[in-house]
Structures are given as structure tokens and as C-alpha cells.
Amino acid sequence: MNRLDLVRWIDLHPVVDDRGSLTAIESGQSIPFEIKRVYFLHDIVADRAGHAHRDTQQVIIRLAGNFVISLSNEFETTSYELNRSDKGLYLPPMLFIRLTKFSPDAVTLVLASTHYDKSRSIRSWAEYIEATR
Amino acid sequence: MNRLDLVRWIDLHPVVDDRGSLTAIESGQSIPFEIKRVYFLHDIVADRAGHAHRDTQQVIIRLAGNFVISLSNEFETTSYELNRSDKGLYLPPMLFIRLTKFSPDAVTLVLASTHYDKSRSIRSWAEYIEATR
């Protein structure tokens, strides 16, 4: 199985009216997991170095500005530009993730399927390659 | 019991380093409920009219720009300016909520304790007053 093939856009179905845009994500319904952790990034001034999650699924959503996410397995890398808020990118576990090219106003929201646990994350490419063996 | 007294700021403990700011919220741990629904507002061009939630707890977080949230019980109103991202405002159920004075770049994140269900929400002040009796 190529884990990169599991990456996909999820349509978030924003409700846009004359007041603005509201987008709701129902845990375990709009996305394929229960939300255990939410995190957001802003005022980003440098790339977020590579990491992977052993068993955490995520959906990453651009809320403002734009940035690039590069996803790698042992052999190949696919990059996605996140520049709109009506879709989230579903990330299965065990992809090596790099976030780059943040615009100064970028705001990124991530929904995750597990609570934080340092042992669940892989912080270097060498460790990632080791873990995929 | 005055429900307005249950409103409080929750410190979100952002991790700020030379790459930028990352803020994580653990469902049921950083906040006093399990996250069942996440929604976000952006490109807001008009006030979001008043509503209340019969049994939904929420935490509202400013991710960009600024706006004002006014919270009312039957007798009184308290307003909060949301202009920083390191704290979220906890909202108990059954307050009448108005969101106003959005800056053009405002992005608002809301974490909610229940899935969406139209019967859980109150869409007018008259209905709210009726429900508090």
C-alpha cells in the first residue's frame, strides 16, 4: 500500500451568506476520525521542519494566507499548496510532513485523531526511514 | 446561578519559538469538554445575529484580526474584545451570543461540545427569554 494514495481533499462545505463564511466540521462525521486534538499555527516565520506521526490521522486546513505541505513516504514526495478554506487535506499516519512557504498572514488549523504523546511522533528523516522498515 | 459568571478565559499556552506560534488544545483536557464540532468564521462582513445554545458548551478563539463577543442572560450583557490568540473564551450553554465589530481579516475558531442539531439552538431573543423561564 502506498500511503500517499490515502491523502485526499475533504470538502468542508462552507456556508457562505451575506454575513460571511462559516465552516463546520463534525467530529467523526465530516472527517474519518474523532477529534482528540486541535492545533493552530500563526505568525510563522520559518519552515516547520519534517516530522511524522506513527498512528495519528490529521486534517489540515488553511484558514488564512497560504503555505505548502510536502508529504513523503520512503520513496517519493507529493506537495500541495493550501490556499483556500473550503477543503481540508486528509493525512494518514506515517507520512513525513514538511510545511513550507508560509505567507506572513498564514493561519493553519489541524485536527488530529490522537492526544499529544511524544512517543507517537517521529522528528527526523533518519528515524522515519528506520520506522518504515 | 448567574450563567455569565461561568464565562472565563482559558489559557491556551501557545508554544512560541523562532519558527512561529503553535497552540494545541487537547479535547477534554485543555478545555472542560470533549470536542464534537469545530467551526470557523472568516471573510465576515456583517454582525452575526444573536443566538443561544440550549446545551452546548463552547470555547471561542480569535485566530486573526479582532472582534467583539457580547454575552447576555435575561438581565445583563457582558462584552469581550477578542484580539489575541493565547486565550480562548469559555461559554457555558444558554447565554445569548452576539458577534460584532469584526475586522476585515478576522478569523474565529469555535470548539463545541455537541454535534449540530437545529433543535439545540435558539435563534431569537424572544425565544431565548421564553426558554429561560
Of A18, A20, A40, the CB nearest to B42: A20
pLDDT digits (tens, 9 = 90+) for A102-122: 999 999 999 999 999 999 999
Taking the model in full, what pTM does it have?
A: 0.96
Question: What was the ipTM of the complex prediction?
Answer: 0.95
Cα distances (angstroms) measured from residue B7 to each of A16, A36, A111, B85, B90 = 29, 23, 25, 17, 5
Reported as a pLDDT band with limits 50, 70 and 90, residue B49 is: confident
Interface of A with B in 27-56 (CB under 8 A): 27, 29, 35-48
Cα distances (angstroms) measured from residue B39 to each of A7, A24, B114 = 22, 4, 12
A:B CB pairs within 8 Å:
125
Residues of chain A contacting B107 with CB distance shorter than 8 Å: 63-64, 107
The pLDDT assigned to A99 comes to 95
Average confidence (pLDDT) over B52-73: 97
**Phi, psi (5° rounding) for residue B131?**
-70, -25
From the CA of A84, how many Å to the nearest CA of chain B?
Answer: 11
B interface mutation test: which of A12, A63, A84 has the most B CBs within 10 A?
A63
Reported as a pLDDT band with limits 50, 70 and 90, residue A31 is: very high
Q: Name the nearest CA neighbour of B22 among A104, A128, A110.
A: A110
Computed over every residue of chain A, the mean pLDDT equals 96
Reported as a pLDDT band with limits 50, 70 and 90, residue A48 is: confident
Q: Say whether A48 and B85 touch across the interface (CB within 8 A).
A: no
Of A23, A26, A43, the CB nearest to B40: A23
What's the rounded Cα separation, in Å, for the pair B58 and A74? 41
pLDDT digits (tens, 9 = 90+) for A55-66: 999 999 999 999
**Phi, psi (5° rounding) for residue A106?**
-65, 135
pLDDT digits (tens, 9 = 90+) for B65-103: 999 999 999 999 999 999 999 999 999 999 999 999 999
Computed over every residue of chain B, the mean pLDDT equals 96
Residues of chain B contacting A26 with CB distance shorter than 8 Å: 36-37, 115-116
Is the pLDDT score of A77 beyond 80?
A: yes
Q: For residue B35, what is the nearest residue in chain A, using CA coordinates?
A: A35
